[in-house]
Amino acid sequence: MRIILIGPPGAGKGTQCQRLVEHLHVPHLSTGEMLRAAVRAGTPEGLLAADYIAQGQLVPDQIIVGMVTKRLAAEDCRSGCLLDGFPRTLPQAATLDDLLERQAMSVDGVIELAVPRDELVRRMIARKRADDNPEIFSNRIISFELQTAPLLDYYTRQGKLASIDGLGTADEIFERIKAALRTFSRGTHR
Ligand code: ADP
């Protein structure tokens, strides 16, 4: 299965992705993690991306698309993958569709983890990451709302979106995700 998980910063994507990859037996493609690894390794992509990440802004599509294209071409992605943090803009989504179509593949379903903004802020205060200070976090929320939220319409139009309530325990949320996966495999989410 080829699944995308979309959610604002702090929605709990990381926790649910860990469970999902074990459940689906597919590789986890997290662009946030790929970028942080590139920054640590000092690759050309990492050097270009570092300032954007530090400011909570999206890294230019070109950099991300190059990284994801390479990763998706690997053997372990042939039978599926879990995309986490990609696509994040409409051009990224269109590029992904083209890329998959050329290999006679497609996205099976998109899961939105919906969490209200005040809860995101509470969670950000409770955890600590370099790009988690209030100002930078607010930039990340703004880029989610302006650049990523339009993808929800894009995938609704494709009949692929399942919106999940992201409030509750990690177990409860994972049960909701598994219920959504069943609708994807039956194609009844349309
Ligand atoms: P979160 O979802 O918690 O904001 P991620 O770990 O997914 O965090 O991403 C961290 C940062 O990496 C983002 O704020 C952004 O700067 C960059 N990034 C990750 N994925 C993308 C993407 N698909 N397009 C552009 N920038 C990205």
Instruction: Please give the residue that has the higher pLDDT: either 70 or 132.
Output: 70
CATH of the domain at 127: 3.40.50.300
Question: 9: domain range?
Answer: 2-30+79-186
Whether 162 is covered by a domain: the verdict is: yes
Compute the distance between CA of residue 59 and CA of residue 66 in angstroms, rounded to an integer.
Answer: 12
Whether 168 is covered by a domain: the verdict is: yes
Distance from the CA of 156 to the center of ligand 1, in angstroms? 22
φ, ψ of residue 116 to 5 degrees: the values are: -65, 150
**Residue-level length of the chain:** 190
For the cut 60, the answer to whether the pLDDT of residue 46 exceeds it is yes
DSSP characters for 137-174? HHHHHHHIIIIITHHHHHHHHTT-EEEEE--S-HHHHH
- Residue 29 Cβ inside 6 Å of ligand 1? The answer reads no
- Residue 67 Cβ inside 6 Å of ligand 1? The answer reads no
Q: How many CB atoms are located within 10 Å of the residue 164 CB?
A: 22
Q: Out of 60-69, 116-125, 128-137, pick the least confident.
A: 128-137
Number of domains forming the structure of the chain: 1
Compute the distance between CA of residue 67 and CA of residue 72 in angstroms, rounded to an integer.
Answer: 9
For the cut 90, the answer to whether the pLDDT of residue 183 exceeds it is yes
Structure confidence at residue 11 (pLDDT) = 96
Q: Which residue's CA is minimally distant from atom 8 of ligand 1?
A: 32
Whether 22 is covered by a domain: the verdict is: yes
Whether 128 is covered by a domain: the verdict is: yes
Mutate which of 35, 36, 113, 143 to test ligand 1's pocket (most atoms within 8 Å of Cβ)? 35
Whether 63 is covered by a domain: the verdict is: no
pLDDT tens digits, one per residue of 75-87: 999 999 999 999 9
